[in-house]
């Protein structure tokens, strides 16, 4: 049911939903699940507030999108954040900080009974969150809704990926990221933000191809897996830059990236895939990366190729302690809006 009683030229009304739209779960086609979770972040906190800050910034967005006009009329809706998840995140994040501090001092978690119990709690919490998101997504799919996820750290979308695989069948992931996220249980955390793609390879059999773009921070173990696992195709940031320096256009590189994707695509966008000037407060910023226009162009070319985007996530948006001085939420909100529009465009004839 298209939204008809909204003036896109008016001032954003804070009592409305995300982007100032007068949506409810009933009249929206795309549901954006907010997941305020940052239990396993290994450097800087703040990403759990990402969904909240993105919503606050979203009211300042003008609705005209030249790449995908008027798809907002299909309705985008973000439910209220689950207070149980917020409470569990706060408790388990404190536990994780104790474990990480202990590891940084050269100690092993297993040698401390109290910390080992906390680690077990964290891993159980990650499992529970995955199951909750999976169940919620499957419930929404059964109601003929589309589903995306707004994190939170990059561990959060595993449940959605599992649900998307079961609902839509075989698919590939287009990962925009500074990091490979292929570590096995990094720091002992099974569902670490640094382990999301490793876990996808283990737990989502419908995921047939992982295409990574912008990777520039990874360990030897991850590199070995990238080279040995046929389901992975990695476009390293320095290789992309070298191709551009030597005369290739971004269009040519995008065409190459897209050629490795199957017909159905899930997009997983870690904001730190961008140049850090656009996400300076993200948990683990890394020099290099992309302009937003480059990634917008890549997503547009995915849609123009005739591939279908079945679901997506945006994560690791963090505003730091002084959000008034931060561009992160503004960038995140605009990226999210354009991802929603292109997503709806790709599903126009589904």
Structural domains present in the chain: 18-346 (3.40.800.10)
Quote the CA–CA distance of 285 and 316 in Å, as a whole number. Answer: 10
* Extended strands (E) in 121-231: 146-151, 171-176, 207-215
Q: Phi then psi for 274, rounded to 5 degrees?
A: -80, 165
What does the radius of gyration of the chain's CA atoms come to, in whole angstroms?
A: 19
> What are the residues whose beta carbons fall under 8 Å from the beta carbon of 107, sequence distance 6 or more?
none
Confidence (pTM): 0.96
Nearest one of 279, 316, 275 to 193, comparing CA atoms: 316
Q: What angle do CA 287, 288, 290 make, to 5 degrees?
A: 130
One-character DSSP codes across 258-294: HHTS-SEEEEEEEGGGB-GGGSTTSSS--S--B-HHH
177 burial level (CB within 10 Å; 0-12, 13-18, 19+):
buried
Strand intervals (E) in the chain: 30-35, 76-77, 146-151, 171-176, 207-215, 232-236, 264-270, 308-315
Cα-based distances in Å from 30 to 78, 238, 243, 302, 350:
9, 35, 37, 19, 14
Cα 151 from Cα 199, distance rounded (Å): 17
Q: By the 8 A CB rule, do 334 and 293 touch?
A: no
What confidence score (pLDDT) does residue 2 get? 65
Tens-level pLDDT at each residue, the chain (350 residues)? 568 778 899 887 878 999 999 999 999 999 999 999 999 998 889 999 999 999 999 999 999 999 999 999 999 999 999 999 999 999 999 999 999 999 999 999 999 999 999 999 999 999 999 999 999 999 999 999 999 999 999 999 999 999 999 999 999 999 999 999 999 999 999 999 999 999 999 999 999 999 999 999 999 999 999 999 999 999 999 999 999 999 999 999 999 999 999 999 999 999 999 999 999 999 999 999 999 999 999 999 999 999 999 999 999 999 866 556 679 999 999 999 999 999 999 999 87
Q: How far apart are alpha carbons 43 and 307 in whole angstroms?
A: 36
What is the residue-wise DSSP string for 75-100? -EE-PPPPHHHHHHHHHHHHHHHHHH
- Asked if residue 236 lies in contact with residue 222, where contact means CB atoms within 8 angstroms, the answer is no
Give residue 322's pLDDT: 57
pLDDT attached to residue 325: 64
């Amino acid at each position: 049911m298209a939204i008809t009683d909204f003036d896109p030229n008016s001032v954003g009304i804070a009592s409305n939903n995300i982007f100032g739209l007068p949506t409810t779960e009933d009249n929206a086609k795309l549901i954006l699940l907010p997941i305020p979770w940052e239990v396993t972040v290994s450097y800087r906190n703040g990403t759990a507030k990402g969904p909240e800050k993105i919503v606050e910034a979203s009211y300042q967005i003008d609705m005209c999108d030249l790449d995908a006009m008027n798809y907002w009329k299909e309705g985008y809706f973000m439910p209220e954040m689950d207070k149980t998840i917020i409470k569990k995140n706060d408790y388990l994040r404190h536990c994780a900080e104790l474990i990480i501090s202990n590891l940084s001092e050269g100690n092993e978690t297993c040698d401390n009974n109290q910390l080992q119990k906390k680690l077990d709690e964290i891993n159980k919490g990650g499992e529970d969150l995955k199951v909750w998101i999976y169940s919620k997504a499957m419930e929404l799919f059964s109601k003929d809704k589309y589903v995306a996820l707004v994190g939170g750290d990059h561990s959060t979308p595993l449940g959605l990926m599992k649900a998307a695989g079961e609902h839509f069948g075989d698919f590939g992931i287009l990962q925009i990221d500074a990091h490979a996220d292929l570590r096995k249980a990094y720091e002992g955390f099974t569902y670490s933000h640094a382990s999301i793609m490793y876990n996808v390879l283990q737990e989502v059999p419908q995921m047939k191809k992982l295409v990574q773009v912008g990777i520039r921070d990874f360990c030897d173990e991850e590199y070995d897996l990238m080279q040995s696992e046929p389901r992975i195709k990695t476009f390293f940031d320095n290789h992309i830059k070298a191709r551009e320096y030597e005369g290739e256009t971004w269009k040519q590189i995008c065409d190459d990236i897209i050629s490795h994707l199957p017909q159905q695509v899930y997009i997983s966008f870690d904001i730190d895939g961008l140049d850090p000037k656009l996400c300076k407060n993200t948990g683990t910023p890394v020099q290099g990366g992309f302009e937003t226009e480059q990634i917008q162009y890549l997503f547009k070319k995915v849609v123009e190729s005739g591939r279908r985007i079945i679901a997506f996530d945006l994560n690791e948006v963090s505003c730091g302690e002084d959000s008034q001085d931060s561009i992160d939420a503004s960038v995140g909100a605009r990226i999210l809006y354009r991802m929603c529009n292109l997503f709806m465009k790709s599903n126009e004839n589904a």
